[in-house]
Amino acid sequence: MLLAKVAGAVLVMGATTCAGWQVAARYARRPGQLRDLQTGLAVLQTEVEYGATPLPEALQRAARAAGPVAGQIFAESARRLAAGGGVTAGECWEQAVEAVADTTDLGPEELSVLKALAPVLGASDRADQIRHLQLARHRLESEEARAREERQRYERMARYLGVLSGAALVLILI
């Protein structure tokens, strides 16, 4: 009987602690992914500005520059574009963002910034695209600053709360 109690207590505490750690980890990962997004967009902007590369290849290069997580957006976009089927670049981009969003730690704000690029990508003239990409990068930069601040405040808190709520539950239920 005592063994069952101890086992139950360990399970409950382990569960809440892990939950707390996961929330904390999310706060930790977000700033990095936002920075990667900016890098990817910068590469894309450079390709549009100075290169004559076709969009799928430019997206592939951006994907490589944007790292394993954020790069998925660019890679998926390139893949859909290459798959053809009459979809515009903007639609591919938007679909890619939606498809990949759940695997990243990005939130609705930056996702909407990305989706706002959809109508512009590969559609308007060079200067216009460059302007929009620059604007998106700017917005992501301020978002990144906010994410860093949130991380400062909430990462430790989430971990502590995980452990503490587990202990509280155990105490109340035992």
Q: Which residues here bind other proteins, judged by CB under 8 A? A: 153-154, 156-157, 160-161, 164-165, 167-168, 171-172, 174
Nearer to other proteins, 90 or 154 (CB): 154
How many Å apart are CA 67 and CA 127, to the nearest integer? Answer: 27
How far does CA 26 lie from the centroid of its chain? Answer: 10
Nearer to other proteins, 19 or 164 (CB): 164
Nearer to other proteins, 16 or 45 (CB): 16
How many Å apart are CA 53 and CA 161, to the nearest integer? Answer: 50
Give residue for tokens 């620059």. Answer: 134
- Min. distance of Cβ 148 from other proteins in angstroms? 15
Q: What CA–CA distances, in Å, run from 106 to 27, 29, 36, 81, 149? A: 10, 9, 11, 23, 15
Q: Which of 50, 48, 60, 23 is nearest to 137 (CA)?
A: 48
Nearer to other proteins, 146 or 156 (CB): 156
